[in-house]
A and B are shown apart, each in its own frame.
Chain A
Amino acid sequence: MAYLDISKVGISFARAGIRTEVLREVDLQVERGEYVSIIGHSGCGKSTLLNIVAGLLRATAGGILLDGKEVNAPGPDRAVVFQNHSLLPWLTVRENVGLAVDKVFRGRKSRAERRDWIEENLRLVNMMHAAEKRPAEISGGMKQRVGIARALAMEPKVLLLDEPFGALDALTRAHLQDQVMEIHARLGNTILMITHDVDEAVLLSDRIVMMTNGPSATIGHILPIPLPRPRNRLELVEDAASVHARAAVLEFLYARHAAPALAA
């Protein structure tokens, strides 16, 4: 059985007596150490799917197993990096990571070990120099790095990234993508990432999951990206397999499942 097993997951919301089915029969198996991206148009329910895996939303049909255990509540084994970083503005960078570390490892690590672990994770994302700064004092890219450090520091079984680079400028985004790739290579994390950026998906993923449009969205196609690692963004621009993968994703998104507004 797969490490993360999403089977026949569906969710519908009732508002004012009208039921809207957002996701239907979503089936996805993710292996340990795999990097899987979910791509789709806005409103296709990809963030909803991530929130179900995180436990922040309850599926109305189907279920999710992680490492053989059912997922039915949020927990640090499924750490989330939120799109808007979600750092607590009244805590310093160190305290933000510390809040997670102290909560998750209390009783398992001594105070000194926890302090070292906080610093190790800040060093991993190159943020040790700003450890005593507050979120308002650092840039958007730096905040997102701290968000990643906080998530990694929980030692999650699966790392959930919800459009982690969506709010960043192109140069910062490229830099952060490289860092995430490096961390993935070094630690072998299992990662599930939401994105709407085709290049990003091809660069980072082992597989790209393409969602159909909602309502009742589901997985339309899963594309394996058989590019060898480590990957280099400059080489991928010319690489035939990469160009082919990009074309396949674009074809899915713009020809077969064009955005609802465009198709109408």
Chain B
Amino acid sequence: MSMTATKAALPPLRRTAEATTRRGSGHAGTLPRMAQPAAAPKRTPIGPKLASLAGSLATRILPPLVVIALLLLLWQLLCSRPGAGLPPPTKVLTDTWDLIVDPFFDNGGIDKGLFWHISASLQRVAIGFSLAAVVGVALGTLVGQSTWAMRGLDPLFQVLRTVPPLAWLPLSLAAFRDGQPSAIFVIFITSIWPIIINTAVGIRNIPQDYRNVSAVLRLNGFEFFYKIMVPSAAPYIFTGLRIGIGLSWLAIVAAEMLIGGVGIGFFIWDAWNSSKMSEIILALIYVGLIGFLLDRVVALAGNLVTRGTSAH
């Protein structure tokens, strides 16, 4: 089922029902969570409670720390010999120390701290992704509700969604004649497909029972939309949003390499042109961490909104 999370594996609308898991495993490919120890019952004394909390932290945090330490060690050993193509971790740290400790400097032009690059990229993602979320949920609702719209639009969606994000860039540059809106358009067009498809599946999977309840109560179209449809389809919609935000973050780095200006993608390209490998490595770590955070934020929002919905 984790295949659902990758773009290539998005199945066509007609048979997505079984393929799209509620609370899909998301995009970032997080490892399955460790079994969580049962929550300590209320009214236990504070000592054992703290101990069990510490225990659960240890079982969750220790394994990744050990693995990371081992990998760093391996990297250090492999890249320490003379003539190695890439710098070892210690050299990365000394090379980029200035960038790490002062992410806020601004010397004008593109010579800015990493904070400014990342915030520029996040802004583009925020705008493009928000547009995609609004338009995607609206189109997904249309396609999910109307068989005619589904038949008409689905083939189009299935073809367009396979177009790689960067292939849209020349076209959008020609249309907008400016880097900023073009990058935002690339984000939009990249993240909209999983949102449309998952929303449509969610709408189509609204149980007949809920429609009957709404019919007996004579809910009007608007009431049906926000009292039944949205909450019922929310787990699916959030699966789509989670895949979408992951794809946005993938696309923005590539798009910024081409459009230039301020942004983490351009920072990487600039570092490559000046052969600053350590800076590239630092930027990659930041890109990964922020992509992970974005995924978590959307997943968290989804968990809050769909609390109770997926439990039947």
Interface residues of A (CB under 8 A from B): 54-56, 74-76, 78-80, 82, 84, 86, 88-90, 99-100, 103-104, 134-136, 154
* Given A100-B217, A103-B218, A104-B217: A86 and B231 interface contact (C-beta under 8 Å): no
A86 touches B212 (CB 8 A): yes
Contacts of B217 in A (CB 8 A): 76, 99-100, 103-104, 154
Contact with A along B209-220 (1 / 0, CB 8 A): 110110111110
Q: Does B307 contact A (CB under 8 A)?
A: yes
Residue in contact with B215 in the complex, picked from A55, A104, A135, CB distance below 8 Å? A55
Given A56-B212, A82-B212, decide whether A136 and B218 contact each other with a Cβ distance below 8 A.
no
Task: Give the contacting residue for A76; candidates B218, B227, B307; CB below 8 A.
Answer: B218
| Interchain nearest-CB distance for A154 vs B (Å) | 8
Q: How far is the CA of A154 from the CA of B217 in the complex (A)?
A: 9
Residues B312 and A89 in contact, CB atoms below 8 Å apart: yes
Cα A134 to Cα B310 in complex, Å, equals 12
Interface string of B289-309 (1 = CB under 8 A from A): 000000000000000001111
Known: A82-B209, A88-B228. Contact between A74 and B309, CB under 8 A? no
B311 touches A75 (CB 8 A): no
Count B-side interface residues using an 8 Å CB cutoff.
23
Cβ-Cβ contact count across A and B, 8 Å cutoff: 61
User: Is residue B223 within 8 Å, beta carbon to beta carbon, of the partner chain?
Assistant: yes
Is B210 a contact of A88 with CB atoms below 8 Å?
yes
Residues in chain A near residue B307, CB distance under 8 A: 90
Give chain B residues whose Cβ lies under 8 Å from the Cβ of A86: 207, 209-210, 212-213
**B219 near A103: Cβ-Cβ < 8 Å:** yes
- Bound together, the chains give a CA A74 to CA B312 distance in angstroms of 25
Q: Is the CB of B231 within 8 A of A90?
A: yes
Given A80-B212, A84-B209, check contact A90 B309 (CB 8 Å). Answer: yes
Bound-complex Cα distance A75 to B212 (A): 10
Judged by DSSP, the binding face of B is helix
Q: A56-B216, A88-B228, A90-B231 are in contact. List 15 more A-B contacts (CB 8 A).
A: A56-B215, A74-B216, A76-B216, A78-B216, A86-B207, A86-B212, A88-B232, A89-B308, A89-B309, A89-B310, A89-B312, A90-B307, A104-B217, A134-B308, A154-B216
Instruction: Name A136's closest neighbour in chain B (CB-CB).
Output: B311
User: Given the complex, which residues of A lie within 8 Å of B215, measured CB to CB?
Assistant: 55-56, 74
A-B contact pairs, 22 of them (CB 8 A): A54-B212, A56-B212, A56-B215, A56-B216, A74-B218, A76-B216, A76-B217, A80-B212, A80-B216, A82-B209, A82-B213, A84-B209, A86-B207, A86-B213, A89-B310, A89-B312, A104-B217, A134-B311, A135-B312, A136-B311, A154-B216, A154-B217
Interface residues, chain B, CB within 8 Å of chain A?
A: 207, 209-210, 212-213, 215-219, 223, 227-228, 231-232, 234, 306-312
B312 to chain A: closest residue by CB: A89
**B residues near A54, Cβ cutoff 8 Å:** 212, 216
Q: Which residues of A contact B228 (CB under 8 A)?
A: 88
| Whole-angstrom CA separation of A172 from B168 in the bound complex | 61
Q: Shortest beta-carbon distance, B18 to chain A, in Å?
A: 20
Complex contacts, A76 vs chain B, CB 8 Å? 216-218
Chain B residues with Cβ under 8 A from A55's Cβ? 215
Contact A89 B311, beta carbon cutoff 8 Å: yes
Cα(A80)–Cα(B231), bound, Å: 22
How far is A76 from B213 in the complex, measured between Cα atoms in Å? 10
- Chain B residues with Cβ under 8 A from A78's Cβ? 216
- Would A90 and B212 count as touching, CB distance under 8 A? no
Contacting residues, chain B, for A82 (C-beta < 8 A): 209, 212-213
List, in ascending order, chain B residues with CB within 8 A of A90's CB: 231-232, 234, 306-309
CB distance from A94 to the nearest CB of B (A): 14
Q: Which residues of chain B are within 8 angstroms of A79 by Cβ–Cβ distance? A: 216
Closest 10 interchain pairs by CB?
A136-B311, A86-B209, A74-B215, A90-B309, A90-B231, A134-B308, A103-B217, A74-B216, A90-B308, A86-B213
Which residues of the other chain, A, contact B207 by a CB distance below 8 angstroms? Answer: 86
Complex: chain A residue closest to B217, CB-CB: A103
**A104 partner residues in chain B, CB cutoff 8 A:** 217
- Which residues from A are CB-within-8-Å of B209? 82, 84, 86
**Given A84-B209, A90-B307, A99 and B227 touching (CB < 8 A)?**
yes
